[in-house]
Amino acid sequence: MGIAEWRARLRQGEVSARELTQSHLDRIAAVDPTVHAFLEVTGERALASADRIDAARAAGQELPPLAGIPLAIKDNLCTKGIRTTCSSRMLGQFVPPYESTVTERLWDAGAVLVGKTNLDEFAMGSSTETSAFGPSRNPWDPERVPGGSSGGSAAAVAAGECLAALGSDTGGSIRQPASFCGVVGLKPTYGRVSRWGLVAFASSLDQVGPFTTSVADAAEILQVIAGADRRDGTCLQAPVPDYSAALGRPVKGLRVGLIRECFDQPGLDPAVKASVLAAAQRLEALGCELVEVSCPRFDDGIATYYVIAPSEASANLARYDGVKYGYRAAAPEGGDSLATMTARSRAEGFGEEVQRRILIGTYALSAGYVDAYYRKAQQVRTLIRRDFERAFEAVDVLLSPTSPTTAFRFGAHRDDPLAMYLADLLTIPANLAGLPALSLPCGFDAQGLPIGLQLIGGVLQEEQLLQVAHAYESDARVMDNRPAAALVA
């Protein structure tokens, strides 16, 4: 059941918040030793929150929209009094003294925190293999990755360990793991959701969004976390519409654009291509008009991203010096200079992939190179955004595969960082343009692994994105015919 169904049962007294929470804690205890979606399980806090909700219902109080709903939070969102590690040794013992805006809004809405989820270190990766605390596993096949960087959140939802989870998306870190784990993942418009309290990776790209088992649940979570925030200067002041109200609207007459460049990729799995094109044809049968569109600079997204994102990461992670906070290397006998201590702390505190991106970003921003690399990348970013603007003059929503392949095996790209980066080939351009994008299941490959369909909307067009996604989901009912998988709820 989804959030709306559980809410109705909770309000009618058919189930208590404690019973619902305990059932999910039991599920975590049963499957997480294998899945490793969680870095920390907050069982005592969860049950205490559930008891307060049950007491409020018993007293006849009106319950908020997410009252009693068990949620998980990616461990790069600050939670007051609960460790926030970013899956890094650098922040292994960091306990924030404040709450992020999005989690604060969830708790105000009555949601129950069951734990903090695993991720690639500082959200830098596409498989959770860079986590300092070990990788998460895909519930569809534990020998395969759940995607990344929000792999723990995606795996937790797919395995039934929570009803929904939050992740962050810098270049595909919500949509790609959603595709690999067979769940819905939504990256809102840049600025639609506050980033205050999100540990920064690349500040002009990061955005917080939900993982859920249905489009309707994604609309429910977005409704709560979206909206202006005076603490985040990049957060938009635009009013928040009723996202759930958009779900039942007919899609007849909407124009859906198939991005030509996405279907011409040499590394695109034939099973993925066939499944996504079949999904497009289903939308056509529902009354949508299919239009082929071109975004000529779509393929330039990878190169552009891997200049801009590491450059911003280099600046954001410069604060971790072993002095103010974060990991500090033990001083050798005879003491240490400040410069040596800082260098050793960063070398020991950051993992290999984070160090690689810091070095790339520092080089791109260095004197004599900033114009050739960073400034040029920003110019290409503008051209990519203009390609999207032209495409949206002809269509309402864009359609593509979420990832070129289904979930790959652990270690498949361990010695080839470029191959790992290409896992985000189809998701990165939406981040560069600041557009909302959503991944939802559209089929399965021959190994029974889920395939993700990506829909991209115009700026602040989450309503329309959810409308089209819900229409497809309701008609296709992909999960009704899913292959058996022991760890999938």
Instruction: Give 379's contacts (C-beta < 8 A, 6+ positions apart).
Output: none
Six-digit token pair at 236?
């938009």
Residues found in the chain: 489
Instruction: Give 186's contacts (C-beta < 8 A, 6+ positions apart).
Output: 174, 209, 210, 218, 222, 436, 437, 438, 462, 465, 466
Give the C-alpha separation, 269 to 360, whole Å.
Answer: 30
Give the C-alpha separation, 208 to 169, whole Å.
Answer: 6
Closest by CA to 202, choosing from 438, 374, 347, 85, is: 374
Instruction: Give 362's contacts (C-beta < 8 A, 6+ positions apart).
Output: 314
Collapsing DSSP states into helix, strand and coil, what is residue 38?
strand
Give the C-alpha separation, 256 to 397, whole Å.
Answer: 5
Give the C-alpha separation, 73 to 230, whole Å.
Answer: 22
The one catalytic residue among 16, 49, 74, 179 = 74
Identify the residue whose tokens are 């860079």.
130
Give the C-alpha separation, 441 to 476, whole Å.
Answer: 10
Write the DSSP assignment of 52-103 as a string of letters. HHHHHHHTTPPPPTTTT-EEEEETTB-BTTB---TT-GGGTT---SS--HHH
Q: Are 247 and 216 in contact (CB under 8 A)?
A: yes
Six-digit token pair at 283?
């939308």
The one catalytic residue among 173, 345, 403, 439 = 173
Q: Are 340 and 329 in contact (CB under 8 A)?
A: no
Q: Which 8-state DSSP code applies to residue 299? A: G
* Residue 173 annotated as catalytic: yes
CB atoms within 10 A of CB 276: 24
Q: Are 120 and 131 in contact (CB under 8 A)?
A: yes
Six-digit token pair at 46?
């969860």
Q: Are 188 and 198 in contact (CB under 8 A)?
A: no
Six-digit token pair at 378?
């920003």
The one catalytic residue among 88, 126, 127, 149 = 149
Collapsing DSSP states into helix, strand and coil, what is residue 17?
helix
Closest by CA to 310, choosing from 372, 359, 373, is: 359
The catalytic residues are 74, 149, 173
